[in-house]
Structure formats: C-alpha cells, structure tokens
C-alpha cells in the first residue's frame, strides 16, 4: 500500500485542492522545530521561525493509504483507535462513530494487547494512534503482538514500530481533527457508504476538541446575546404598542 500515489486516487483535482486547503488552514503542515532522520522525507522546507513544514501532498497520500488499510479489515471493530491526548479524544470519538471502529482514549493499561489474562485484553487487526510518543506503550505492544500501526506523526516522531506514517502536526487540535475527518470520509468512500460525487454533510468542526471552559464561555456569550436580542424585541414591541395607543387616542 505504501506505493499508492496521487495518480491512483480516484479524486478530481478540485477536490484534492479543497482538501489540501483544509489541511493548510488547520495548520496540519506546521511541524515542530525538531526533525528526526526518518521524518526527513516528509519535510517540504524549514520556515524562517525554525518550524519544519510538512509536504501536504505526501500527507494527503498517506491518509489515502491508511484508509485503504482500514477498509481491508473485514470487521471494522477490529480496528482500534487510541490516544492518551485529551485534545485528540473528540476527533477519535467522532472517527469511531462514523466508521464504526473501536476506540480507547483513556489511560492505556499495560498488557492490553499482550496479556490475555487481563480484562482489558484486546486483539485488534490494526491500531491507529494519534501520537507514537504519547502512545508509545500501545505501539510497543502492537509490535510484540504483530499488529500493524498507523500513526499521526509530527516531524519529531520516533517511527520505530510504526508501519504507516501520516505526517502531520499532531500537537494541534484542528490538525488532528481534520486528519481524522479526511480519513473517516475516505473510508466511507471506499466502503461505498458515501458517493464521491456528493459532499459529506458532517463538517470538520465536529471533530475539533473544545475545552469545557471554552464551551461554558461560549454558552454564556450565547445566553447574553439572546438576552440582548430579547430586550431589543421587547423595546420595539413597547414602541409599537405606544404608537398604536397614541394613534387610537388621536382618532
């Protein structure tokens, strides 16, 4: 599957342009200031501020490769999506919801893939991790259990025991969200659950994590705006009533 190129992807140029624009808008191409030897092939250039910029075309290609690997798994529940990053949890929840894969975003229990006597023991066919550094125990156990690993990898990633790399900024909420959104959509395309001729009605924003405090703040702002709108409506209603009463008195 690693040999799949853009020429093999059944996409029109406008769709590819739109998708790569989404990746750039979500800063998926902005890597860290550190680059490991194995990540060098995915680097487009180093920016003036020292951040390594990831080649968006290669990122896009690897999303397609990962989708094809996932679709090849007969039972979607045999795909396990993992992350110990709190801000990756929503993207993984939504990815699991729309693709019907298994997921685990809580603290990883040692032996989940290797110790058959534990209650948490799992035998997935493929594992997807949001960060091979944060999820190194899951990656390590996958290697012991001979389970292929798909990983979202920043420029500073250690690629040992990673089988399919999706090079991207895995330290950004929007970046993680858009990558999982594109991966989910491609899986639905390949399964035939969604036609390539139609737009997916699920918007990428649903895959973006929001801090509870931020959600509370937004709710308060909406409530305040609603109160102001109601006050304006009441004021207009009073003005209208006053004008109507004055007109009746004159008559």
73 and 106 share a domain? yes
Q: What secondary structure does DSSP assign to 138-171, as a single string?
A: HHHHHHHTT--EEEEE-TT---TT-SEEEES-TT
Write phi, then psi, for 249 (nearest 5 degrees). -65, -40
Band (pLDDT 50/70/90 cuts) for residue 210 is confident
> Is residue 12 domain-shared with residue 90, that is, in the same domain?
yes
Considering the domain architecture, whether residues 132 and 250 belong to the same structural domain is answered as no
Write the DSSP symbol of residue 130. Answer: S
Its domain, for residue 115, covers: 6-207
Q: Into how many domains does the chain fold? A: 2
Report the alpha-carbon distance of residue 91 to residue 87 in Å, rounded: 8
Beta-sheet pairing, 52-54 with 43-46: antiparallel
In a domain, 1, yes or no: no
In percent, the amount of the chain with pLDDT more than 90 equals 71
In this structure, are 177 and 134 located in the same domain?
A: yes
Nearest CA among 158, 162, 164 for reference residue 64: 164
Q: What is the pLDDT of residues 25-75, one digit of tens each?
A: 999 999 999 999 999 999 999 999 999 999 999 999 999 999 999 999 999
Does residue 171 share a domain with residue 71? yes
130 vs 115: CA distance, rounded Å: 23
Give the least confident one: 125-129, 134-138, 194-198: 194-198
Reading the block at residue 197, the tokens are 């001729």
Return the C-alpha torsion angle 102, 105, 108, 112, nearest 10. -10
Examine the domain organization and report whether 15 and 108 are in the same domain.
yes
Per-residue pLDDT tens digits for 153-191: 999 999 999 999 999 999 999 999 999 999 999 999 999
User: Is this prediction's pTM over 0.75?
Assistant: yes
Residue 58 sits in a domain whose CATH number is 3.40.50.10490
Tell me if 45 is assigned to some domain: yes
65 in any annotated domain: yes
Q: How far apart are alpha carbons 187 and 18 in whole angstroms?
A: 18
Instruction: Give the residue among 34, 38, 28 at the shortest CA–CA distance from 52.
Output: 34
Whole-number pLDDT of residue 217: 66
Question: In the structure, what pLDDT confidence band is assigned to residue 245 with cuts at 50, 70 and 90?
Answer: low
Contacts of 79 (CB under 8 A, 6+ apart): 70, 73, 99, 101, 102, 124, 125, 126, 127, 128
Asked if residue 227 and residue 176 are part of one domain, the reply reads: no
Contact 78, 125 (CB under 8 A): yes
């Amino acid at each position: 599957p690693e040999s799949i190129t853009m020429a093999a992807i059944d996409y029109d140029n406008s769709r590819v342009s739109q998708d790569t624009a989404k990746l750039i808008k979500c800063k998926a191409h902005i890597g860290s200031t550190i680059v490991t030897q194995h990540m060098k092939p995915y680097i487009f250039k180093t920016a003036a501020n020292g951040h390594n910029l990831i080649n968006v075309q290669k990122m896009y290609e690897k999303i397609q490769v990962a989708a094809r690997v996932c679709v090849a798994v007969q039972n979607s529940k045999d795909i396990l999506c993992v992350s110990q990053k709190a801000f990756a949890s929503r993207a993984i929840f939504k990815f699991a919801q729309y693709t019907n894969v298994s997921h685990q975003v809580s603290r990883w229990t040692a032996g989940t893939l290797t110790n058959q006597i534990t209650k948490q023991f799992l035998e997935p066919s493929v594992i997807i991790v949001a960060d091979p550094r944060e999820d190194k125990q899951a990656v390590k156990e996958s290697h012991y259990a001979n389970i292929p690993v798909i990983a979202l990898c920043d420029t500073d990633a250690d690629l040992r025991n990673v089988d399919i790399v999706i090079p991207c900024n895995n330290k950004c909420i929007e970046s993680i969200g858009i990558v999982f959104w594109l991966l989910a959509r491609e899986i639905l395309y390949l399964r035939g659950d969604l036609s390539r001729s139609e737009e997916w009605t699920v918007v990428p924003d649903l895959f973006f994590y929001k801090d509870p405090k931020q959600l509370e703040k937004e709710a308060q702002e909406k409530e305040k705006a609603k109160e102001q709108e109601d006050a304006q409506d009441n004021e207009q209603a009073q003005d209208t009533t006053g004008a109507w009463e004055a007109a009746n008195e004159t008559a």
